[in-house]
């Protein structure tokens, strides 16, 4: 492709509304343009990178035995009502009616549609196992679309679904997708980690997320410094052997007293005002759920993990109560809630179980209670691991130190079991003629998010550094003097030779200063840059530069095409 023909609107300035580097660079390098919040057009350069990722995904899915299909974007509400998700999916699901008043939604995911297909087509154990995938645009009305393709509302996803006769087969399918995902992200040139994860809206019994390590990641990842354990913060377990540290006052219970604490609300304020440590304090958080409201108690130096609370209660939705609701249930403004006298259900984190003579809110404005003791002053209906892991916690598997890093979730795989096959009656006949539920798994990859994550990990102050396997072009040729016929003809010759060999080449044929060409080549991040200038050409040489390292090599003109072909081969193979 010739630069003068390419639709490549680059930007010099950093766009004001782009917070993260990948978003800034994708806009500046002319890869994407925003239509409206969370909805983007892919320009030629962006689309080429996206297509590369899709091709890697396709190759690895086919290698793992999955077959490509394509399902519709618009899905009938009836299927979602059958699965039970119509009422629980929430506002991310865009719903609308057709002219006959029938309900539909834009697919945020396709478990219902594929299960419907399978229940109609699969009859016998002979039809199983089966793995079907698609690469298709999803729509989710995200509450906070941001970071460009990282968290869009319309975005491209690869979603695969496996169907097996039993748990054993399903475990094999899961493992095979786990392995395929490792190969895909490795081939995309990413530094990533598979972590245990919560199953969220999709459901099922078990799941892993594939996290690209990056400081700008929206997720926190807990991983052991010694063993293999790694989990999303939402899921990360507290090691119970370490949670019963010296908590509160060890002496015998004292009597409970009310103390006046005017305008003293936060843990920091309360501990300072009353001269106690956060470990003597109990925080009472009120949540509203799809069932009854609940008060959750955690120690003053701990934070509630809402995902754990949601799972322990087995509720569909859970939300921290607003000021008004807190007032309604506790009789006090936020900051003064406590367990004593509360009429709603109370559950508590395990660390609270051994606490004595606690300090907590008094359910009255400007009031706290000291010397509070469970059993005498209030009751807890259940203790469980309900808090976020902290850096001072220990690995739940081996007890060694843990570390907490940030990550971008690019893939997520789930063991679904019979959740959807039961709800939609997807069954098969086994060898003995018995009707049994199909065991399912589902497996997603965010295509645009993967490209964004790759840029987040591979860039410098001058621009993108595309890993070769997902680069929109493999080589960029910069003829420095467009009015010198020898330079131009050397550039054309190399361009034609490489193109004939199937190399994706961009030829910067603009009549621009060298500095401008270098700047743009760096910005768009093509892995190999060939500079053709009068001076070196006189000596029969061209200069090749690696975008990633900045290293240059002078190459004899006649061998340039072969040398470049080798360089491309080596950089792709090293990822495979
Ligand atoms: P997140 O926790 O980031 O909202 P999710 O758990 O809702 O993601 P899944 O349902 O597991 O996402 O979807 C599979 C994959 O699709 C994710 O791993 C991610 O790569 C991608 N994805 C999900 N939501 C978005 C989005 N809003 N924009 C771009 N990619 C997305
Ligand atoms: Mg997920």
C-alpha 409/C-alpha 151 separation (Å) is: 10
* Mean local confidence (pLDDT), 400-426: 96
Question: 3-class SS at 198?
Answer: coil
Instruction: Please check whether residue 386 is in contact with residue 305, taking contact to mean a CB–CB distance below 8 angstroms.
Output: yes
Mean pLDDT (the chain) is 95
Cβ of residue 141 lying under 6 Å from some atom of ligand 1: no
Whether the pLDDT of residue 576 is over 70: the answer is no
The confidence score (pLDDT) of residue 250 equals: 61
Is residue 299 in contact with ligand 1, taking CB distance under 6 Å? no
**Alpha-carbon dihedral of residues 193, 194, 198, 200, nearest 10 degrees?**
90
Residues of the chain with pLDDT > 70, as a percent, come to: 98
- Cα–Cα distance between 308 and 306 in angstroms, integer? 5
Exposure string of 174-183, with b = 16+ CB inside 10 Å and e = fewer, is: bebbbebbeb
DSSP 146: B
CA 60 from chain center: how many Å? Answer: 20
Q: Which ligand has the shortest distance to the CA of 157?
A: 1
Ligand 1 mean position to 74 CA, how many Å? Answer: 19
pLDDT at 242 exceeding the cut of 80: no
State how far the Cα of 332 lies from the Cα of 323, in Å rounded to an integer.
Answer: 9
Q: What is the pLDDT of residues 191-223, one digit of tens each?
A: 999 999 998 877 777 899 999 999 989 999 999
For residue 141, pLDDT beyond 60: yes
Element housing 552 (H / E): strand 552-556
What domains, with CATH codes, occur in the chain? 10-237+403-456 (3.30.930.10), 257-384 (3.90.960.10), 473-571 (3.40.50.800)
Say what percent of the chain tops pLDDT 90: 94
Does residue 263 come out as left (phi exceeding 0), alpha (psi in the -120 to 50 range) or beta?
Answer: left
**44 within ligand 1 shell (Cβ under 6 A):** no
- How, if at all, do strands 154-164 and 318-320 pair? unpaired
Q: How far apart are CA 494 and CA 507, in angstroms?
A: 10
Q: Which pLDDT band holds residue 363 (cuts at 50, 70, 90)? A: very high
pLDDT in tens, 246-265: 444 467 889 999 999 999 99
Atom of ligand 1 nearest to the CA of 153: 27
Q: Is residue 151 in contact with ligand 1, taking CB distance under 6 Å?
A: yes
DSSP-derived 3-state class of residue 274: helix
Closest residue (by CA) to atom 22 of ligand 1? 446
> Are residues 514 and 487 in contact, defined by beta-carbon separation less than 8 angstroms?
no
Residue nearest to atom 13 of ligand 1 (CA): 444
- Answer whether residue 360 shows pLDDT above 60: yes
**493-545: pLDDT as tens digits:** 999 999 999 999 999 999 999 999 999 999 999 999 999 999 999 999 999 99
19 pLDDT more than 60: yes
Q: What is the 3-state secondary structure (H, E, C) of 396-445?
A: CCCCCEEEEEEEEEEEEEEEEECHHHHHCCCEEECCCCCEEECEEEEEEE
Q: Residue 243's pLDDT band (boundaries 50, 70, 90)?
A: low
Cβ pair 73, 121 in contact under 8 A: no
Look at ligand 1, atom 23, and give the residue with the nearest C-alpha: 446
Show the beta-strand stretches assigned E in 225-356.
230-232, 257-260, 282-289, 294-299, 318-320, 345-349
pLDDT of residue 575: 46
- Nearest CA residue ID for atom 21, ligand 1: 446
Higher pLDDT, 161 or 90: 161
Q: Is 26 in the pocket of ligand 1 (CB under 6 A)?
A: no
Whole-prediction pTM value? 0.92
CA distances from 353 to 254, 277, 358, 385, 469 (A): 17, 17, 11, 11, 54
Residues with CB under 5 A from ligand 2 (ion): 412
* CB neighbour burial string for 76-95, b if at least 16 within 10 angstroms, e if fewer: bbebbebbebbeebeeebee
Asked if the model's pLDDT at residue 574 lies above 60, the reply is no
Cis preceding-peptide flag for 129 (omega within 30 of 0): yes
CA 48 to mean position of chain CA atoms:
22
Rounded Cα–Cα distance for residues 388 and 306 (Å)? 9
Ligand 1, atom 28: closest residue by C-alpha:
151
Query: Is the minimum distance from the CB of 410 to ligand 1 under 6 angstroms?
Result: yes
- Establish whether residue 214 lines the binding site of ligand 1, counting it when its CB lies within 6 angstroms of any ligand atom: no
pLDDT score of 219 = 95
Output the CA angle 556-559-561, nearest 5 degrees: 120
Rounded Cα gap, residues 546 and 527, in angstroms: 6
Ligand 1 atom nearest to 109, measured from its CA: 10
Among 449, 451, 453, 456, name the best residue to mutate to test ligand 1's pocket (greatest count of ligand atoms within 8 A of Cβ).
Answer: 449
**Can you tell me which atom of ligand 1 is nearest the CA of 414?**
11
Ligand nearest to the CA of 90: 1
């Amino acid at each position: 492709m010739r630069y003068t023909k390419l639709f490549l609107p680059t930007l010099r300035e950093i766009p004001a509304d782009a917070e993260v580097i990948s978003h800034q660079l994708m806009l500046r390098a002319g890869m994407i343009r925003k239509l409206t919040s969370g909805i983007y057009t892919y320009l030629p350069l962006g689309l080429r990178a996206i297509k590369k990722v899709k091709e890697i995904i396709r190759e690895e899915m086919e290698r793992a035995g999955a077959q490509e299909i394509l399902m519709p974007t618009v899905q009938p509400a009836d299927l979602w009502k059958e699965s039970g998700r119509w009422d629980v999916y929430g506002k991310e699901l865009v719903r609308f009616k057709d002219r006959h008043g029938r309900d539909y939604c834009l697919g945020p995911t396709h478990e219902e549609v594929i299960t419907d297909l399978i229940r109609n087509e699969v009859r016998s154990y002979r039809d199983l196992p089966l793995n079907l995938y698609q690469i298709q645009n999803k729509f989710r009305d995200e509450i906070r679309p941001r970071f460009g393709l990282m968290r869009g509302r319309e975005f491209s996803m690869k979603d695969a679904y496996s169907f097996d006769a039993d748990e054993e087969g399903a475990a094999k399918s899961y493992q095979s997708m786990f392995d395929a995902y490792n190969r895909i992200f490795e081939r995309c040139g990413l530094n990533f980690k598979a972590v245990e994860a919560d199953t969220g809206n999709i459901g099922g019994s078990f799941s892993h997320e594939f996290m690209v390590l990056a400081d700008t990641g929206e997720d926190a990842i807990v991983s052991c410094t010694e063993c293999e354990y790694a989990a999303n913060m939402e899921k990360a377990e507290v090691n119970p052997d370490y949670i019963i540290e010296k908590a509160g006052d060890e002496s015998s219970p004292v009597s409970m007293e009310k103390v006046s604490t005017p305008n003293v609300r936060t843990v920091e304020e309360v501990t300072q005002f009353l001269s106690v440590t956060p470990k003597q304090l109990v925080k009472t958080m009120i949540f509203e759920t799809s069932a009854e409201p609940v008060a959750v108690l955690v120690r003053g130096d701990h934070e509630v993990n809402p995902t754990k609370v949601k799972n322990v209660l087995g509720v569909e939705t859970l939300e921290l109560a607003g000021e008004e609701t807190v007032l309604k249930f506790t009789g006090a403004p936020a900051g003064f809630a406590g367990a004593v006298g509360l009429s709603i259900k109370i559950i508590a984190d395990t660390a609270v179980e051994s606490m004595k003579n606690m300090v907590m809110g008094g359910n009255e404005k400007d009031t706290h209670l000291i010397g509070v003791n469970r059993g005498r002053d209030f009751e807890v209906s259940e203790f469980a691991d309900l808090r976020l892991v902290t850096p001072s916690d220990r690995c739940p598997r081996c007890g060694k130190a843990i570390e907490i890093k940030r990550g971008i979730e690019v893939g997520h795989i789930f063991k679904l079991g019979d959740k959807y096959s039961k709800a939609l009656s997807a069954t098969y006949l086994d060898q003995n003629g018995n009707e049994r539920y199909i065991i399912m798994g589902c497996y997603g990859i965010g295509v645009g998010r993967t490209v964004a994550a790759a840029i987040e990990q591979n860039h410098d102050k001058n621009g993108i550094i595309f890993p070769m396997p997902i680069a929109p072009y493999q080589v960029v040729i910069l003829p420095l003097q467009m009015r010198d016929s020898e330079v131009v003809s050397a550039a054309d010759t190399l361009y034609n030779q490489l193109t004939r060999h199937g190399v994706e080449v961009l030829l910067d044929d603009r009549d621009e200063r060298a500095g401008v060409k270098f700047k743009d080549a760096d910005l768009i991040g093509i892995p190999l840059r060939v500079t053709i200038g009068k001076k070196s050409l006189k000596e029969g040489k061209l200069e090749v530069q690696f975008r990633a390292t900045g290293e240059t090599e002078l190459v004899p003109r006649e061998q340039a095409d072969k040398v470049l072909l080798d360089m491309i081969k080596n950089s792709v193979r090293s990822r495979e």
